[in-house]
């Protein structure tokens, strides 16, 4: 069906109801954030298992507190980055690309600041699991989780998620993205 200039495409009744009455769409988590929460939940389960074997609970608590604080700060950081992108016209939860490529703020130092913070978070969880096992009995499954979860996250995120997002950004903003990816690292880093 061809459309004459100035005609709008027909829509189904109620398709834009939320937009027409000025309501914001319902909040939802990005699928990658749900994976992040699931992995963090698994870490917490292993942490509970390791904690039951701790011999010096007082010292282990003093050691665990800074790790847990930094892990929570990673979550706060990811939320702030998502809000920053949202204010610039993008939406990480629904994979909506902004009209102009966002290259400032946290994106001036990382093309993928939320993934970078998630990697730091998983490394902190792993370090905490390893350190706490020093206060008690070493357990095989938490040890394996500590050693392999960050590596698996890195490989999948780097090869699948970031690769897909880079292709989409390069298609939407070809010249700007080429220059941006030359200056700013995929995970972290900035060239002058």
C-alpha to C-alpha distances, 121 to 16, 77, 107, 152, nearest whole angstrom: 38, 11, 18, 14
What tokens were used for 174? Answer: 């070809």
| Confidence (pTM) | 0.82
Confidence category of residue 98, pLDDT binned at 50, 70, 90? confident
Structural domain spans, the chain: 29-183
pLDDT value at residue 32 = 79
What is the rounded distance in angstroms from the CA atom of residue 51 to the CA atom of residue 61? 10
pLDDT value at residue 191 = 84
Span 78-106, average pLDDT: 85
User: Residue 157: pLDDT above 70?
Assistant: yes
Smallest Cα–Cα separation from 107: which of 186, 176, 30?
A: 186
What is the rounded distance in angstroms from the CA atom of residue 104 to the CA atom of residue 51? 41
Mean pLDDT for the chain? 85
Find out whether 101 and 128 touch, Cβ atoms under 8 Å. no
What is the rounded distance in angstroms from the CA atom of residue 189 to the CA atom of residue 183? 8
User: Residue 81: pLDDT above 70?
Assistant: yes
| pLDDT tens track for 109-152 | 999 999 999 999 999 999 999 999 999 989 999 999 999 999 99
Q: Which helix (H) or strand (E) holds 144?
A: helix 140-156
pLDDT more than 90, % of the chain: 69
């Amino acid at each position: 069906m061809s459309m004459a200039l100035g005609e709008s495409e027909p829509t189904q009744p109620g398709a834009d109801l939320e937009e027409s009455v000025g309501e914001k769409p319902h909040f939802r988590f990005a699928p990658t954030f749900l994976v992040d929460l699931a992995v963090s939940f698994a870490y917490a389960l292993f942490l509970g298992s390791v904690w039951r074997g701790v011999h010096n609970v007082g010292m282990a608590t003093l050691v665990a507190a800074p790790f847990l604080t930094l892990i929570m700060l990673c979550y706060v950081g990811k939320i702030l980055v998502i809000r920053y992108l949202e204010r610039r016209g993008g939406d990480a939860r629904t994979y909506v690309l902004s009209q102009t490529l966002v290259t400032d703020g946290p994106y001036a130092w990382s093309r993928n600041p939320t993934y970078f913070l998630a990697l730091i978070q998983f490394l902190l969880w792993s370090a905490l699991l390893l350190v706490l096992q020093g206060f008690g009995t070493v357990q095989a499954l938490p040890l394996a989780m500590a050693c392999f979860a960050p590596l698996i996250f890195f490989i999948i995120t780097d090869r699948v998620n970031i690769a897909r997002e880079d292709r989409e950004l390069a298609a939407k903003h070809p010249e700007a993205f080429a220059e941006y990816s030359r200056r700013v690292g995929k995970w972290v880093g900035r060239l002058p």
